[in-house]
Amino acid sequence: MHPAFGTTANRGPVTVVGIPARDEARTVAAVATAADAGLHQAFPHGLNAVVLAENGSTDGTAERFAETPLRSRKVVVRSPGEGTGKGTNVFAVVDRALALGAERVVLLDADLRSAEPGWVGLLADAVAGAEPVLAVPSYRRDRYEANTTNHLVSPLLAAVYGVHVQQPIGGEFAFNRAFLDRARAWSRPDSAHLYGIDVWLTANALREGLRVVEVPLGRKLHNSPFPKILRLPQQVLDSLFHVVLRTDGVRPQTGGARARTAVDEVAVPQDPAVVARVVAAVGRYLSAHGDDVRLLFPSARAATAPWGLRLTADDWPNVLADALTALAAGRFEAARDHLVALYVNRVLTFWEEVDGLPGGEVDALLDRQAARTATAVRARGLVFGDVTPPDRFDVRHWAGFADEPVAVP
């Protein structure tokens, strides 16, 4: 317990908002201000803290946070940048929250441009009680974003765990003390210290049968993740595959899938120059690994397209089933990395498929894709428990195919 919070029996509950960050000086003050306002709206008589966990920032992120006036206690936790990422910061937030005696922890991404004070109370209230609970966000996103969510994580979680989670890696999470106590025992692969942290939390919660609550938060605006489309999904898949391999097998569907309302009517296409560089990198990867990709992913024999392969909403569920089949056969890294290359082709095909469609029809297409993925995977009769995952993760994998250095996250 931090001495500022005291040790008397009549102290109020401790709630912590954690902000994991690296080089987010432009937005961190606004996020911290919203967090502070939300804490005091929701818990005016509690003991509140805002914890910034940053690793390797060079733009003054921590200094900008430190100079921002807050009523809550301000805490800064720093770690070295090399070999660390978002997960390192989340684990640092959790460690400090436990030291402060927090009963509930809320996470807000540092690059948010739409953070609302009300989000804090909504997320924290969702994890109240003694039962281990994880709260995840549900919000509207630009159709050109949330690609890893829409085409990888959400359908794969639905296929393996039988639960449809609309945005399982959204970043704005909350959990209570009981959840943290359970999470201490979970194995942490290298990728969980990077962008794999969100899916590591969600997938482990589903694996253990813990309650996962979706909290509607409206619209989310933040920096576009598309420039990370090679390294981010690789890290996410690595963490997800580690958790899947600790699962006995594919689980039955539980309840009916709730129709999505996730696609915003505002749509801003990605930078064509960035898209072209990504397409070129993926093309080089597929040229180098084409024979193995065709062997492990027989469902990816798709028509050609200007970006490479035209992988439609009808093709993609079977491609995801191929990935899990390869994983169950012990081809962990090939399943992961080949899937990233195919996923980029799926994203570009998806953008063409949904061009001009209203948001509701885009949501319906993604719902069908997730449901068909679950059906395709169940038909394979997969068992995962006999495979040992790799014990290391190479964060620089895509640097061998990109035409410019791939930054370490």
Q: How many Cβ atoms are within 10 Å of 345's Cβ, its own excluded? A: 24
In angstroms, the Cα distances linking 116 to 14, 26, 30, 153, 333 are 20, 17, 10, 26, 39
Q: What domains can you pick out in the chain, each with its CATH number?
A: 11-235 (3.90.550.10), 272-400 (no CATH)
The helix/strand/coil state of 218 is strand
Exposed e or buried b per residue across 311-320, where buried means at least 16 C-beta atoms within 10 angstroms of its C-beta:
bebebbbbbb
Which of these, 156, 237, 225, lies nearest to 189 by C-alpha position?
237
Residue 70 falls in which region: left (phi positive, over 0), alpha (psi -120 to 50) or beta: beta
What's residue 9's pLDDT? 42
Burial (CB < 10 A; 0-12, 13-18, 19+), residue 48, is buried
What's residue 246's pLDDT? 95
Give me 342's structure tokens. 């195919």
CA dihedral defined by 80, 86, 90, 95, rounded to 10 degrees? -20
What is the per-residue DSSP string for 41-106?
HH-TTSEEEEEEEEES--SSHHHHHHTS--SSEEEEEEE-STT--HHHHHHHHHHHHHHTT-SEEE
What's residue 224's pLDDT? 75
What's residue 11's pLDDT? 54
8 Å CB contact between 145 and 171: no
What's residue 257's pLDDT? 64
What's residue 264's pLDDT? 84
- Reading the chain (409 residues) residue by residue, the pLDDT tens digits are 444 555 434 456 899 999 999 999 999 999 999 999 999 999 999 999 999 999 989 999 999 999 999 999 999 999 987 778 999 999 999 999 999 999 999 999 999 888 899 999 999 999 999 999 999 999 888 899 999 999 999 999 999 999 999 999 988 999 999 999 999 999 999 999 999 999 999 999 999 999 999 999 988 876 777 888 999 999 999 999 999 999 988 999 886 667 878 888 888 899 999 999 999 999 999 999 999 999 999 999 888 999 999 999 999 999 999 999 999 999 999 999 999 999 999 999 999 999 999 999 999 999 999 999 999 999 999 999 888 999 899 888 887 887 654 444 5
What's residue 256's pLDDT? 63
CA dihedral defined by 89, 268, 350, 207, rounded to 10 degrees? 20
What's residue 228's pLDDT? 87
**What is the 3-state composition of the chain as percent helix, strand, coil, each rounded to the nearest 5?**
45, 15, 40
8 Å CB contact between 225 and 232: yes
8 Å CB contact between 354 and 299: no
